[in-house]
C-alpha cells in the first residue's frame, strides 16, 4: 500500500498523501462506492483519473471513512457527514486529503512545471518576484503561490472569487515552509495559515482557516 506520507498538523488535523503505483483493479479491492460515485468513475476517460479517485477512497479509509461518508454541496465543495472538514486533491501520480475536526481546510498538490512562469501574471503580481533570477526557483515559488490560492479557494468555495483580485498570499522564504493568506471578498475578510512541502518535483500546499 503506497501511502506516501501522513502529516499531523495539530491534534485535530491530519494530511494524508498517496503515490499511485497500483493498477485500477488493485485499487478497486475492498472499496465500495456509492451508485453516484461509481457512475462518476465509469464516466472518467482517463485511467489515471480513475486510479486517483480510488486512491482517495483508500486515504479516506485510513482516516476512518468510507465513500458514503462524503458528499458535495452545490458549489462542489466536499463535506463529511459527521461534520468534520475535508479537502481533496489529485495531480498526476499523487493524491491527498486533509481532514480537520475543528477548522475549515484546503489542500492542493501541483507538479512543478515551467509553464507556470508563463501564466503567473494571471494569478499573482509578477513584479513582486523580479529579484528572483533562477528559473527553477521562480517555478517553485509560483507553484507554492498557486497551490496556496487554490487551497484557499477550495475553502471559500464561492463563485466569482478571483485568485488575483481577492486572494492574497504573504511573501515567504521557500525553506521556511509556512506563510499566511487572506481572502477579501465583498466586504468580508478571512485569514488562513498556510504550510507547504516539496517532493519528487511536486508541491503540496495546505491551508487552515484561522478562527475569527
Indicate the pTM of the whole model: 0.96
CATH class of segment(s) 3-102: alpha beta
Residue-level pLDDT, tens digit, the chain, 212 residues: 689 999 999 999 999 999 999 999 999 999 999 999 999 999 999 999 999 999 999 999 999 999 999 999 999 999 999 999 999 999 999 999 999 999 999 999 999 999 999 999 999 999 988 888 899 999 999 999 999 999 999 999 998 999 999 999 999 988 889 999 999 999 999 999 999 999 999 999 999 999 86
pLDDT at 50: 97
Pick the CATH number of 108-209 from 3.90.470.20, 1.10.287.1080, 3.40.50.2300, 3.40.190.10: 3.90.470.20
Which residue blocks in the chain are alpha helix, DSSP H?
24-28, 35-42, 47-62, 115-119, 135-156, 163-166
> What does DSSP say about strands 13-19 and 94-100: parallel, antiparallel, or unpaired?
antiparallel
pLDDT at 161: 95
Domain extents in the chain: 3-102, 108-209
Q: How is residue 181 written as a grid cell?
A: 493568506
* Phi, psi at 133, each rounded to 5°: -95, -20
> What does DSSP say about strands 202-209 and 188-199: parallel, antiparallel, or unpaired?
antiparallel
Amino acid at each position: 500500500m503506497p501511502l506516501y506520507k501522513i502529516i499531523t498538523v495539530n491534534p485535530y488535523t491530519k494530511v494524508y498523501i498517496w503515490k499511485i503505483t497500483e493498477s485500477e483493479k488493485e485499487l478497486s479491492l475492498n472499496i465500495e462506492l456509492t451508485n453516484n460515485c461509481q457512475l462518476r468513475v465509469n464516466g472518467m476517460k482517463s485511467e489515471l483519473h480513475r486510479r486517483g479517485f480510488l486512491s482517495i477512497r483508500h486515504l479516506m479509509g485510513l482516516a476512518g471513512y468510507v465513500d458514503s461518508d462524503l458528499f458535495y454541496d452545490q458549489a462542489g465543495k466536499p463535506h463529511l457527514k459527521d461534520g468534520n472538514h475535508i479537502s481533496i486533491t489529485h495531480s498526476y501520480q499523487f493524491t491527498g486529503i486533509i481532514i480537520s475536526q475543528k477548522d475549515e481546510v484546503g489542500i492542493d498538490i501541483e507538479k512543478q512545471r515551467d509553464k507556470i512562469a508563463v501564466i503567473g501574471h494571471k494569478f499573482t503580481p509578477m513584479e513582486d518576484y523580479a529579484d528572483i533570477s533562477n528559473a527553477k526557483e521562480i517555478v517553485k515559488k509560483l507553484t507554492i503561490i498557486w497551490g496556496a490560492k487554490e487551497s484557499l479557494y477550495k475553502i471559500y468555495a464561492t463563485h466569482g472569487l478571483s485568485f488575483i483580485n481577492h486572494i492574497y498570499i504573504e511573501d515567504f522564504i521557500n525553506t521556511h515552509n509556512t506563510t499566511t493568506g487572506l481572502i477579501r471578498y465583498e466586504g468580508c475578510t478571512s485569514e488562513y495559515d498556510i504550510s507547504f512541502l516539496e517532493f519528487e518535483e511536486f508541491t503540496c500546499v495546505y491551508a487552515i482557516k484561522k478562527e475569527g
